[in-house]
Amino acid sequence: MEKSTLGQLQYILPETIFLLEEDLSQLANESRSNSPQLSELQDSNQKKDNDKLSAEVEEVILPDPIKVRGQFEKGILILHEEETLSEEVMEMLVKILQAVGHSMTSVGMLSSVELDGKSLEDFKTINAHTVLKFGRIKHPINSLPIHNYQIHTEEETEYLFADALSIIAEDKELKVKLWTNLKTLFNIA
């Protein structure tokens, strides 16, 4: 693997590979020792390549990753409309998670405010396996063709959208509707 060329690595790694300026001199030295005929050509083009590479490195600005609250051990992500959840709603959420065989350590949580200004691509980098969205969230995730209280699978992620947790906490019919879908989602008989 250490002797693989960049061309060979493209078949293994689907992500774009970026060459850092610090690595450029090391690669040049290695290629000179492997092929003395190329060293003359490389010397003449090295300055141009360094300038281009520096410009590319400066242009690549990665957005801040979305920070998920919680341990997120099982890849279950809970998105909620409310900026903060009341103690009553948190107790209900803990009971729901226990009923489907999970705990708060299994999940990560994000509020609508924490997702504000983030793209769908940013969201997908979280790599959640199951997404439970409660309430209205100002985010491109709403563009997915998902209706409330229906399970939707896209790529390797399962989605369940529902009303806001504070509304569900006060409405027994919505609790039953949510529970029915959660049993299906988490394979509970």
pLDDT in tens, 53-92: 555 555 556 567 888 999 999 999 999 999 999 999 999 9
Q: Which of 123, 183, 184, 187 is nearest to 155 (CA)?
A: 123
pLDDT band, very low/low/confident/very high, at 48 (cuts 50, 70, 90) = low
CB neighbours of residue 134 within 10 Å? 25
Burial category of 133 from C-beta neighbours within 10 Å (exposed 0-12, middle 13-18, buried 19 and up): buried
How many distinct helices (H) and strands (E) make up the chain?
A: 8, 5
Question: pTM, whole model, 2 decimals?
Answer: 0.66
Average pLDDT, the chain: 81
Mean pLDDT along residues 146-171: 94
- pLDDT score, position 138: 80
Q: Where are the domains of the chain?
A: 6-59, 76-185
CATH top class, domain 76-185 = alpha beta
Burial category of 78 from C-beta neighbours within 10 Å (exposed 0-12, middle 13-18, buried 19 and up): buried
* Coil vs helix vs strand at 38: helix
